[in-house]
Amino acid sequence: MAEPEFTATGVRIGKRLRSLTRAGQVRISDGRLQLLTSYGSEIDSAPVQAVRASRPWFSHEDRALADVNGTRYTLTLGEHDPAPGKPGPPSARRFIEAVRRAAGRGT
């Protein structure tokens, strides 16, 4: 198995107004996006080409939207990338760029 192209831990994953996990994982590996709970069980996954990632209009910098298999998930990542060697989720902007790059849509 290849090294993941993007990994974020400590991500709050929600669907509509419901929180699914407060310390989930987002992983892009082998052309597939996976949303995982803090225990590693899969919430949802899809090929990256079928995923739409964007930023919600009136929200904080740390939020991203991901449409996976027709379901819209709200992801709360970090507002800024963590310092090198420090734990924490990457920024929402970096997640959106990773989805576009993995899908071959550029940045």
Length of the chain: 107
> pLDDT digit string (tens) for 16-33?
889 999 999 999 999 999
Residue 85 located in a structural domain: yes
Residue 14 located in a structural domain: yes
What are the C-alpha distances in Å from 94 to residues 8, 30, 78, 98? 10, 18, 10, 6
Q: Assign 90 a pLDDT band (cuts: 50, 70, 90).
A: confident
Query: Domain containing 23: what range?
Result: 6-105
Tokens representing 34 are 């996976």
What domain count does the chain have?
A: 1
Residue 1 located in a structural domain: no
Residues 6+ apart with CB under 8 A from 102: 5, 6, 28, 31, 33, 48
- Please report which helix (H) or strand (E) contains residue 99, including its range: helix 92-103
CATH code for the domain of 41: 2.30.29.30
